[in-house]
Amino acid sequence: MKTPFTTKEKLEEIIGEIPTPFHLYDEKGIRENAKAVYEAFSWNKGFREYFAVKANANPFLINILKECGCGTDCSSRTELMLSNSLGFSGDEIMFSSNDTPAEEFAYANEIGAIINLDDITHIKVLEDTIGHIPSTISCRYNPGGVYEISNGIMDNPGDAKYGMTKKQLFEAYQLLRDKGAKRFGLHAFLVSNTVTNDYYPALASTLFELIVELKEETGICINFVNLSGGVGIPYTPTGTPNDIRVIGEGVRKVYEELLVPAGLGDVSIYTEMGRFMMGPYGALVTTAIREKHTYKEYIGVDACAVNLMRPAMYGAYHHITVMGKENATCDHTYDVTGSLCENNDKFAVDRKLPKIDMGDVLFIHDTGAHGFAMGYNYNGKLKSAEVLLKEDGSFELIRRAETPKDYFATFDCFDIIKDLV
């Protein structure tokens, strides 16, 4: 069962000021979840969650997480710039990039971010770019093959472009030590959107065994283990959410089994969650504006895939609540579509829903991560507004909708378009 984090009345009040479509975020939910994350890992002195900015780059939301003690995980220059201007400093910023341009290494170094190297060849690029190796440095590991968690959930790191082989990793740390590095991190991201409490403990166990071996073989002690992202959320109404407390305890258990006896009991645990921190606390609010009865039953809404790409891109399920009809029987089968000239622009296919009337407001769940952030401007469509529902029940526009002027802004070199810019 999935229920919206707000009411029909509240949405009507917001829509009175801010027209649909927009993404709405739940401040209370974001804060409670972040607090639970910190409680779950409070046994680890150096713990920090570096929120993956790519999941949602809205500075208002990132600031909320900052107040909860989080840092940021960045994958590009602009994400680094955003973190820097929000007042994150030095080791509060992780730079986990791949195929990294030299100028991004330079900027990350300039603002003192922790650089997480995706490949052994990046050591030379980094050194050539900034003239030295930073004293704190991290490396990304890829074990190859298929990575399977106990209950059959698996992914295929052997096919992934990220990270170094074990041999390269051990070589990289020694090279980095020879070049003056003093503090070392280990990072791995092996499975995406895991709806199980077993992923982090399994990954931690893999990484802890590795750092014990590294210490024995090379004498190098890892200072932090970055479990990265991958902790998932159930998008379907029948899924069971992960319990971050169980996950934190699971990691603690393997920490005490593997690291403490090896004399590595002061290793800090870092996470870089995006989806888990923000996904459930965002929704795309959209209005039904057209209906169509041809070979199928269609409901057209005023949002489209530029506002939420996951269904079009991955066939991802996003639950839909028709506001005010929460308890009505789902006796209609609809495709819920946007207006793009792409047949995959459908928020739902063959979805059982109550009868939808024109003007009904649809609450598309779990868009807080990789929702607005994946937006684009295909078909000349404009990105929507973002609205924050605050803890006290009031609301605030935290990003205005794009206007045609924004869309044409990068054509300012064309005289004929000047009037539009």
Ligand X SMILES: *Cc1c(COP(=O)(O)O)cnc(C)c1O
Pairing label, strands 385-389, 22-26: parallel
Binding mask 209-228 for ligand X (x = CB under 6 A): -------------------x
The residue among 118 and 360 lying less far from ligand X, judged by its C-beta, is 118
Task: For residue 7, state whether it binds ligand X (rule: CB under 6 A).
Answer: no
Q: Kindly tell me which of 37 and 305 has the beta carbon lying closer to ligand X.
A: 37
Q: Are strands 332-337 and 297-301 parallel, antiparallel or unpaired?
A: parallel
Compare residues 68 and 361 and give the one whose CB is closer to ligand X: 68
**Pick from 49, 73, 91, 302: which binds ligand X (CB under 6 A)?**
73
Cβ-based neighbours of 259, under 8 Å, separated by 6 or more: 208, 211, 212, 265, 267
62 makes contact with ligand X (CB under 6 A): no
Asked if 203 touches ligand X (CB under 6 A), the answer is no
**Closer residue to ligand X, CB minimum distance, 141 or 395:** 141
212-215 own/partner pairs: CB under 8 Å, 24+ apart = 212/258, 212/259, 212/262, 212/264, 214/169, 214/170, 214/173, 215/262, 215/263, 215/264
Size of the site for ligand X (CB under 6 A): 17
What tokens were used for 68? 């909860």
> Site residues for ligand X, window 274-313 (CB under 6 A)?
274-276
Contact indicator for 269, 230 with CB cutoff of 8 Å? no
Q: Residue 364 gets which letter from DSSP? A: E
From the CB of 66, what's the least distance to ligand X, in Å? Answer: 17
d(CA 169, CA 373): 32
Question: What is the nearest approach in angstroms of ligand X to the Cβ of residue 411?
Answer: 32
413 is catalytic: no
Q: Which of 70, 74, 330, 341 is catalytic?
A: 341
CA distance 334 to 348: 8
Minimum gap (Å) between residue 100 Cβ and ligand X: 12
Q: Which is nearer to ligand X, 157 or 354 (CB)?
A: 157
- Note whether 381 binds ligand X by CB under 6 A: no
33 binds ligand X (CB under 6 A): no
**How would you class 401 by CB atoms within 10 Å of its CB: exposed for 0-12, middle for 13-18, buried for 19 or more?**
middle
Binding of residue 272 to ligand X (CB under 6 A): yes
Count CA within 13 A, CB hemisphere, residue 46.
13
User: Alpha-carbon distance 194 to 217, whole Å?
Assistant: 32
Q: To the nearest whole angstrom, how small is the minimum distance from the Cβ of residue 408 to ligand X?
A: 31
Which of positions 42-61 make contact with ligand X (CB under 6 A)?
52, 54-55
30 binds ligand X (CB under 6 A): no
Distance CA 279, CA 374 (A): 13
Which CB atom, from 173 or from 270, has the smaller least distance to ligand X? 270
From 60-68, 216-224, 229-237, 318-326, span contacting ligand X (CB under 6 A): 229-237
Task: List b or e across 277-302, with b for residues whose CB sees 16 or more CB atoms inside 10 angstroms.
Answer: bbbbbbbbbbbbeeeeeeeebebbbb
230 binds ligand X (CB under 6 A): yes
d(C-alpha 211, C-alpha 213), whole Å: 5
Residues forming the site for ligand X (CB under 6 A) = 52, 54-55, 73, 96, 189, 192, 228-231, 272-276, 369
Active site residues: 341
